[in-house]
Structure 1
Amino acid sequence: MENISSNFTELLILIFILITFLQSGVDKASDWNGNTGWLKDHFSGTFLSGMVPLMVAIIMIIEIITGILAIIGIWQIIGDNDLSMALYACILACVTLLMLLFGQRVAKDYAGAFTLTGYFIVCMFGVYIMS
């Protein structure tokens, strides 16, 4: 119980990452056609237009891995007060968000890119406090 009370911030950030990334990855897997169809239109006219299925697959896999790392990180913090997997979850979350930001900027979806900023700040704060 002491590990929980001394790591509230870390645990809350990991729960945020878990919900955000695992849900997004599972959504991409369960609605593949809907996601790729929308993104093909979103990236039409860009140099990424022919790579949408590959990009969605890569992002989906990384999001699911990030969510799994968050689960492991939560488990390790509660059990052993070990922040190593939690740090990796935060780092991978930041990398994923940078990839999404790149795509939004290429698609000239500046509002969508701006939306990612809040997520990135939370994840970067996680990297900071878990380093």
Structure 2
Amino acid sequence: MTNAAPILILLLLAITFLYSSFEKLTDWNGTMTWLQSHFANTFVVKYLKICLILVLVMEIITGVFCVSGIIELALKPTSKIAWYAAVFSCLTLLALLFGQRIAKDYDGARTLVIYFIPAVVLVYWL
């Protein structure tokens, strides 16, 4: 299968974003509590609920595109949906990275770059 590598990266990203959004939805209060302490000394704390909703929507859209891209790549040699999934993954990761930098969580920001690299590779491949 010529699309094995892109499918594996899409699977990595789908798991990442869909599970993250699942956690946010099933433990909304816990997530909000943690984020309030994480962003306590930043301007973001005032807008935390809207920021969380935005990130949640981005993660769900990205995860759905990733799963749809996997299906399309399994059936066809190319996939526009998979390319959108890769681009949305990059945008979502950049939004999360921006938040980590605002919070001065440099280890968290560095961790996001680990996900960003395969997402950019995927944009290039597709």
Range into which the TM-score falls when normalised by the shorter chain: over 0.9
Deviations 1:85-121 (A, max 9, x none): 0010111011011111111111111111111110000
Quick one: which of 76, 97, 101 aligns to 2:93? 97
Identity %: 42
**Partners of 1:53 and 1:113 in 2: how far apart?**
21
Classify the secondary structure of the residue corresponding to 1:57: helix
The equivalent residue for 2:43 is 47
1:83 is the counterpart of 2:79 = yes
Give the TM-score normalised by structure 2: 0.96
**Partners of 2:70 and 2:37 in 1: how far apart?**
38
How far 1:61 sits from its partner (Å)? 1.1
**Partners of 1:37 and 1:81 in 2: how far apart?**
45
Following superposition of structure 1 onto structure 2, how do residues 1-131 of structure 1 map, counting pairs within 5 Å?
A: 5-130=1-126
How far 1:82 sits from its partner (Å)? 2.8
- Structure 2 regions of 5+ residues with no counterpart? none
**Partners of 1:75 and 1:112 in 2: how far apart?**
31
Letter in structure 2 aligned against 1:58: L
- Structure 1 regions of 5+ residues with no counterpart? none
How far 1:79 sits from its partner (Å)? 1.5
How far 1:127 sits from its partner (Å)? 0.6
Alignment: residue pair count: 126
Q: For the aligned residues, what is the CA RMSD?
A: 0.8
